[in-house]
Structure 1
Amino acid sequence: MAAAAKLDNPGGIGGLESLRGLAEIEATRPADLMKHYPKDQGVIDSDYVYQPPLIPHSIRHYEVSLNANKCLACHSWKNAKEMGATKISVTHYVSPQQGQVLSDVSPSRYFCLQCHVPQADAKPLVENDFKRVSALR
Structure 2
Amino acid sequence: MKNLVSLRFIAAALLCGLVLSLSTVEVRSQDAGPPIANLRGMTPLDQEATPPRIPQTEETDRRRARNYPEQPPTIPHRIDGYQLDANVNQCLSCHARSRVSESGAPMISITHFMDRDGQFLATVSARRYFCNQCHVTQDRVAPMVGNSFVDIDSLLAIENSKAN
- Which TM-score applies when normalising by structure 2? 0.68
1:110 aligns with 2:129: yes
- Paired residue total: 129
Instruction: Provide the rounded CA distance (Å) in 1 between the counterparts of 2:144 and 2:127.
Output: 29
**What corresponds to 2:53 in structure 1?**
33
Instruction: Provide the rounded CA distance (Å) in 1 between the counterparts of 2:38 and 2:153.
Output: 32
Instruction: Provide the rounded CA distance (Å) in 1 between the counterparts of 2:69 and 2:76.
Output: 19
1:48 aligns with 2:37: no
Structure 2: 5+ residue stretches without partners: 1-23, 155-164
Shift of 1:133: 2.5
**What corresponds to 1:3 in structure 2?**
25
Name which structure has the greater RCO, CA cutoff 8 Å, separation 6+.
1
Shift of 1:129: 0.6
Which of the pair is proportionally richer in helix? 2
Structure 1: 5+ residue stretches without partners: none
What's the RMSD between the two structures over aligned residues? 2.5
How far does the alpha carbon of each residue in 1:51-104 deviate from its partner, in whole angstroms, 9 at most, with x for none? 1001111112111112111100000111111211100000001012x1111122
- Which TM-score applies when normalising by structure 1? 0.79
Larger Rg: 2
Which shows bigger deviation, 35-44 or 114-123? 35-44
Instruction: Provide the rounded CA distance (Å) in 2 between the counterparts of 1:119 and 1:82.
Output: 25
Instruction: Provide the rounded CA distance (Å) in 2 between the counterparts of 1:100 and 1:132.
Output: 32
